[in-house]
Chain A
C-alpha cells in the first residue's frame, strides 16, 4: 500500500446491529428508570461538574442507546454525585444510582 502521508478517518456511522445490547438490557433490568428519560436536559442544565467538564446524564443515556459506550463513560467520569440532577428530574429518575450502575456495568 502506498503511503500518502494521511489516513482515512474511521466511520462514525452507528451500526445498531453491532451494539452491545446485552449490557443495556442488564442496565434496564437493574434501573428501569433509564427507559423513563425524556431527554429534557434538566440534569445537564443543573450539573455541578458540567461547569468544568462536559458532563451530562441525558447525553450519556443517548450514547448508550446508540452503542457509544466510551462516549457515555466519558460524559460521566467527572460526575461528583452531588444529586442536583436527581432533584430536578421531572420524571423522578434516580440519576445518582443510574450513574453508578452505568459505571459498574459498562466500565471495566
Chain B
C-alpha cells in the first residue's frame, strides 16, 4: 500500500484526503473519456439538427416557453417525474416502475452525489478538463487515499449514500435481468426484440454497476466505503490478499462505461438523453410537421423501445400483427426503412392507446398521420361544390341565433336511432335547437386528416366553419366523437361552446332539465377512442348512466379501453382483422356479465352490435328510454 502512496502527498486537504496519483490521471480512464466525449459531441450535433429542422416559429415558441414560469415549472416537474421517477410506469405496473426508477434515479443520484463529493472534498478537480473534471468525479474513489484517522462525519454520510444508491441501482439491474427471462412477472406479455446495438448497450449497462461495486470494494480500504463496499473489500482481501488486483476491475468498469456511451446513440438508451428535450418541446406546444425531422426526430430518439405499446395495441389480439406496434414503427423510422414505415403507418387504427400509456409520451399516432400526409396530401380532389353549398345555405340558414346547433355528422346518419334519441332529449329538456345537417351535410374533415389529405380537409373545415359561424349559434352539439375531436382542435370556433351529447345530457341532468329514472338494468360503458383518449371525456357519460342503472366496470376502461376495431384511422386493416378486434373489445366489456352495453359513438355502436351477445344501446337512446314521465 505504501508503494501506491509514494507518488502522492503533493496535495493534502485539511480532511486528510490525498491524491494517490500525480496529475490525477491513470490510463484506465481513457475508454470512459473516449465514450463520454463521443456522446457529448453526438448530443450537440443531434440537438443542432433537431433545432435546425424546426420551423422558425416553433423555435421561437420553444425558446419563449423556457422563460414562462408556469411552463418552466411544469418542465422541471415532468423531467423529475417522467425521466427519474417514472410515475407513469409506477401507476400501471409498480414492479416495472421500481425497476426503472431504481436504475434511472439511482444512477442519477450516484452521479450527482459523486460530483458533490468532489466539489466538497477535492474542488480543484472540477475546475477544468485539464484537472480531469470529465472523469475525476466518476472515478473519485480510485484517485484518493483517505487517512482513516481523519474520517469525518460528512465523509461517512457520503460513503453511506453512495453505497445505498449503488445497492438501489443493483436491485433494479437484478430485476431487469430477471425481466429478460420472464417478462410477464413484471407485467409485460410481449417485449421488444433488441437490436445489435441494443444488446451491446444492454449488457454493458448490466455490467457497469456490479463492476462498480467490485472496483470500489477493492479500493475501499484506501478511499473509504460503507455498509456495502467495506464487507466486500474484506471478503476479497481474504481471497486474493493483494490490493493490486483492483486495476483490472477499474479498467473493466471504465471499458463498460465507454462502450455503453459508444453504443448509446444507436440503441434504445438514447431515450435517457433525448427525453428531457422532448419534454421541453412538448410543453412548449410544438407539433409534428415532418415525420422524421424536428420534433418528430426528438420523439423517435426519445422512444425507449420498452414495448409497453405492444401489449396495448388492439391489433395484437392476433400475434401476427405484433409488427405493427408503435415501437417497431418508430424503430423503422429511425432506420429510414421506407417500405415498412408506410405499411405500418397505414395499418394503425389511431386509437391512441399506445400514446396514452407510453411512459415517455411519444405521440406515435400523430407521426403516423404526418407520414400518411407525405404520400396522400398530393392526391387531386375537387371540392368546388362546397362553395356553392355554403352560398346556398348561408342565405337560407341563419336561424340558430343563440340556440344549440346540432351537427349529427356522416356516421350518425347511418344510425338514425341516435339522431332521433338526441332530438327527443333536446325536446324533452326544452332546449331550443337547429339541426344543421338534417338532409345533407359536409363531412367534418377528420377522416381526410386521418387519411393524410390535410389540405383537402382544410377545405371541408372552411366550408363547415362558415356555415356554423353564420348560424350565430352559441353551442355546437355533436353526436359523433370523430367530429368532436376535429371541431375542437382544428376549427378554432371562437365564442362557440363545442359539446358532445354526453356532456350536454350530463349538464341537463345536473340542471334538472331532464330526470333519468333509476332502473335495475346492469350495463357497461364502452369508451370510444376519439371521445375518451381523444377528447378526455370519461366521466360525463358515466355520471348519467349510473343514475339510470347499475353501471359495471370493464377490466380495461377509460384510457385503457380497447378500440372497437372499425375506426376510420386504419387505412388498410382488413375486415377479418377488424372483426377479431371487435370480438376482443366485446370480451373485455362482457367480463362482468352486464345485461347491456352502452356506447356513445355511432361507429362503435355498429361494430359492437355485430359481435355482442347482449343488447347494445347508444347513450342517447338509453337515456331517452329511461326518463321520468
* Chain A residues engaging chain B, CB cutoff 8 angstroms: 46, 48-49, 51-53, 77-84, 86-88, 92, 94, 96-97, 100, 103-104, 107
A86–B388 Cα distance when bound, in Å, is: 27
Which chain B positions have C-beta within 8 A of A81? Answer: 443, 447-448, 451, 453
A83–B480 Cα distance when bound, in Å, is: 13
Asked if B606 is at the interface of the complex by the 8 Å CB criterion, the answer is yes
* Chain B residues engaging chain A, CB cutoff 8 angstroms: 346, 376, 379-383, 385-386, 388-389, 410-411, 413-414, 439-443, 445, 447-448, 451, 453, 456, 460, 566, 568, 571-576, 603, 606
Which chain A positions have C-beta within 8 A of B380? Answer: 77, 103, 107
Which chain A positions have C-beta within 8 A of B439? Answer: 51
Which chain B positions have C-beta within 8 A of A52? Answer: 385-386, 388-389, 440
Name which residue of chain B comes closest to A48, CB basis. B410
Which chain A positions have C-beta within 8 A of B440? Answer: 48, 51-52
Among candidates A79, A80, A87, A103, residue contacting B442 with C-beta atoms closer than 8 Å: A80
Which chain B positions have C-beta within 8 A of A79? Answer: 381
Name which residue of chain B comes closest to A47, CB basis. B410
With A77-B382, A78-B382 known to touch, is A100 a contact of B571 (CB < 8 Å)? yes
- Tell me whether B385 and A48 are in contact (CB under 8 A): no
Given contacts A52-B389, A83-B568, 13 further A-B contacts (CB under 8 A): A48-B441, A52-B385, A77-B381, A78-B382, A81-B443, A81-B451, A82-B443, A83-B410, A84-B411, A87-B603, A96-B571, A100-B571, A103-B379
- Tell me whether B410 and A100 are in contact (CB under 8 A): no
Q: Which 5 A-B pairs have the closest CB atoms?
A: A92-B575, A51-B440, A80-B443, A82-B410, A77-B382
Name the distance in Å between B582's Cβ and chain A's nearest Cβ: 13
What are 25 A-B interface contacts by the 8 Å CB criterion? A46-B413, A46-B414, A48-B410, A48-B413, A48-B441, A48-B442, A49-B443, A52-B389, A53-B385, A77-B381, A78-B385, A80-B442, A80-B447, A80-B460, A81-B447, A82-B447, A83-B568, A84-B410, A87-B566, A87-B603, A92-B576, A94-B575, A96-B571, A100-B379, A103-B380
Name which residue of chain B comes closest to A52, CB basis. B385
- Tell me whether A100 and B451 are in contact (CB under 8 A): yes
Name the distance in Å between B22's Cβ and chain A's nearest Cβ: 71
With A94-B575, A97-B571 known to touch, is A107 a contact of B603 (CB < 8 Å)? no
- Tell me whether A96 and B447 are in contact (CB under 8 A): yes
A51–B606 Cα distance when bound, in Å, is: 23
Name the distance in Å between A90's Cβ and chain B's nearest Cβ: 11
Which chain A positions have C-beta within 8 A of B445? Answer: 80
- Tell me whether A48 and B443 are in contact (CB under 8 A): yes
Most buried by A among B385, B573, B576: B385
A97–B383 Cα distance when bound, in Å, is: 19
A104–B385 Cα distance when bound, in Å, is: 22
A100–B380 Cα distance when bound, in Å, is: 10
Which chain A positions have C-beta within 8 A of B451? Answer: 81, 96, 100
Name the distance in Å between B549's Cβ and chain A's nearest Cβ: 29
Which chain A positions have C-beta within 8 A of B443? Answer: 48-49, 80-82
Name the distance in Å between A84's Cβ and chain B's nearest Cβ: 5
A104–B380 Cα distance when bound, in Å, is: 9
A34–B414 Cα distance when bound, in Å, is: 23
Which chain A positions have C-beta within 8 A of B568? Answer: 83, 86, 96
Which chain B positions have C-beta within 8 A of A97? Answer: 346, 571-572
Which chain A positions have C-beta within 8 A of B388? Answer: 52
Name which residue of chain A comes closest to B453, CB basis. A81
A60–B381 Cα distance when bound, in Å, is: 15
Name the distance in Å between A92's Cβ and chain B's nearest Cβ: 4
A47–B46 Cα distance when bound, in Å, is: 48
Name which residue of chain A comes closest to B579, CB basis. A92
A83–B112 Cα distance when bound, in Å, is: 55
